[in-house]
Amino acid sequence: MLQTIAFYLFSGVLIGAATMVVVARNPVHSVLFLILAFFNAAGLFVLMGAEFLAMLLVVVYVGAVAVLFMFVVMMLDVDFAKLRAGFANYLPIGAAIGMVLLAELVFVLGAWSVSPALPEAMALPIPDPSQVHNTKALGLVIYDDYVYVFQASGLVLLVAMVGAIVLTLREREGVKRQSIARQVARTRAEGVAVVPVESRKGVDV
Amino acid sequence: MIADFALAPLLPELILALSGMALLMLGAFSSGDATRTVSGFAVAALLAAAAAAATQSDMRVVLMSGTFVSDPFSSFAKVAILLASAAALLMSLDYNEREGFARFEYPVLMVFAALGMTMMVSANDLISLYLGLELQSLSLYVLAAIRRDSARATEAGLKYFVLGALSSGLLLYGASLIYGFSGSTNFETIAGVMVDHGGGAPVGVVFGIVFVAAALAFKVSAAPFHMWTPDVYEGAPTPVTAFFAAAPKLAAMALLVRVLVEPLGALVADWRQIVVFVAIASMAIGAFAAIAQTSIKRLMAYSSIGHVGYALVGLAAGDETGVRGVLVYMAIYVVMNLGAFAVILSMKRQGRMVETIGDLAGLSRSQPLLAAGLAVAMFSMAGIPPLAGFFGKFYVFMAAVSAGLYPLAVIGVVASVIGAFYYLRIVKIMYFDEPAPAFDPVTEPGQAGVLGVSTAFTLLFFLWPVPLVDAAAKAAAALFGG
């Protein structure tokens, strides 16, 4: 009973927040609603017993991705009203295509069938939660069965990083940079000069 | 010694991944400009990986919990991909330096792109398929925009990225539908499930196939998913275009063949109509749209769309001869394409690159060797015997005819006659038009070497076609469990 209430609560808030992400006028509000949506999705994961995914969602998406979004939204001076100017023009055709796609999806899901051989075909059956907690179960799958694709995704991220640096990093000339080694290695002789100053003359520095 | 090593089938990928990362280190930590050194090592790594792929055994080996497969099909595709990548890299060195964007990341990204391609052709699972494809695409997006001070290159990169991301989304959606029906991402399991089902495929699976086929058609730039091709080919720096038109095309085509034949082989009746439609549309677009082009790079883009259409004719046959035809066709296409781009990369007047077709006027008088090389490539692409391009077309059309797809074969022949017009027009411009000012002489050994090898292959293929055709036949047989 309590679980059902929690499920509908999380789902309702999730859908409401997701809608607000799209319709909110202020982009900062959109990002805040996105964070709310992530929290509720995490709640749904907890209800399903997938506590690791729930924590991951909170740590990675709320903690890193959404904060990054927030930075970008606040630093870029994007005029969202201007971006939406063409919206009304494209609305009819967009809506028409959307409706056609929706109708097709209903058609597909209405006639959905799973293969009769599905139970045997299941590549990796879900382990018994009373035997192994799901962090460990995920680890076993990722690092044993899917080690190849795990490494491959690492390479994809490496290429993304290289790409970002290649396309944006510019070596700027004439920028003063701090060199701690040089600072530390500086001797008294380099920095201090003792100049005898005659009275009422001053010195050129 | 190599046979005892349990990961030996993974050797090409291991070589590429490790050398890619090592070269990144070398480039980042060397004090001076390391582009030349890194490029040299990158070519060596690509060739070493090609050698490792060529010496794989003929057995089908499945590794890594069923996510990776090595068989003659993957070995054939890998050798072609890696050699084409090495050739494209060799051709680009001087150009990049001259145009001021020679950076050590360029060869490194090419190595990673090649790694993505080898992973694609060795994929035995929807997840490894997707990751290989993404690794390749992501490297290519960056390469397209690597000349970041040029508005055209940036636009090309952005356009490619946005449309490529869309197609990846389609692929994932289609893959999720197939997974939803079969309960597995493994190709062998999916194949088993599809066979068990028999009869007509359920509508959800057909939707999945349509989405996957559309996404992969985007990657091979087959019509009607070709819109990005001319813009990206024109905007990207020419050596990058040469690379795009060769290895990634072959890799994506090999992937498309494997996906349709291995896991979805039982549903050939369902996907054949898609392939037939895409083949006809691509051949038509390639033949008609290229006629009006003035930029040679745009012309090559439309020409590549047309060639993909011809290769798909072989796939439409859906049997062993058809797949053999696709492989022979794509291998020959890659060789002649690299030859043509070696000439395009030499189109330079007083140190500045030119790229309109009119600039080629009278090339036969100012630089007869260059003109002869391009003429051979053009005649071959038009499919005139006894050049290599003719044999490529011969094998795919023969497969289509023996599978009973007469209308498709007839349309293909008609399209190649129309397409011959613009290939021959280039030859006419080079040989019979009033000469334009001469190009600078070619001093670059990389380009000259690639052009020489490509021309020799195209001219002399008919003397000894057996090795390529045999290897392709063995590769195709592996896919059909022979």
Look at B68 and A148 and tell me if their CB atoms are within 8 Å: yes
A contacts of B128 (beta carbons < 8 Å): 148-149, 152
% chain B with pLDDT above 70:
98
Q: Which pLDDT score, from 0 to 100, does residue B200 have?
A: 66
User: Which residue carries 């990751």 as its tokens?
Assistant: B131
User: Which residue carries 């030119």 as its tokens?
Assistant: B354
Give CA–CA dist B127/B472, Å, rounded: 26
Cβ proximity of A159 and A151 under 8 Å: no
ipTM value > 0.85:
yes
User: How high does pLDDT run on average in chain B?
Assistant: 89
Q: Which pLDDT score, from 0 to 100, does residue A51 have?
A: 85
Q: Which pLDDT score, from 0 to 100, does residue A120 have?
A: 63
Q: Which parts of chain B have pLDDT scores under 70?
A: 1-5, 196-200, 482
Give CA–CA dist B12/B118, Å, rounded: 8
DSSP calls for B51-106: HHHHT--SS-EEETTTTEEE-HHHHHHHHHHHHHHHHHHHHHHHHHHHTT---THH
pTM for the model stands at 0.89
pLDDT digits (tens, 9 = 90+) for A165-200: 998 888 777 788 888 888 888 888 888 888 888 888
Q: Which pLDDT score, from 0 to 100, does residue B1 have?
A: 42
- Phi, psi for B124 (deg, rounded to 5): -130, 20
Does B320 contact A at CB distance below 8 Å?
no
Look at A117 and B192 and tell me if their CB atoms are within 8 Å: yes
> Which residues, numbered 23 to 42 in chain B, qualify as contacts with chain A under a Cβ-Cβ cut-off of 8 Å?
24
∠ CA B178-B182-B188, nearest 5°, is: 95
Picking from B189, B194, B206 by the largest number of A CB atoms within 10 A of its own CB, the best residue to mutate is B189
Measure CB to CB from residue B203 to each of A111, A160, A166 and give the nearest one: A111
B contacts of A126 (beta carbons < 8 Å): none
Does A126 contact B at CB distance below 8 Å?
no
Q: Which of B154, B14, B214, B284 is nearest to A168 (CA)?
A: B154
Sign (positive/negative) of CA torsion A133, A135, A139, A141? positive
B contacts of A112 (beta carbons < 8 Å): 180, 202, 204
Contacts of A197 (CB under 8 A, 6+ apart): A203
pLDDT digits (tens, 9 = 90+) for B253-309: 999 999 999 888 888 888 899 999 999 999 999 999 988 888 999 999 999 999 999
Three-class DSSP category at B186: strand
Smallest CA–CA distance from A120 into chain B, residue: B183
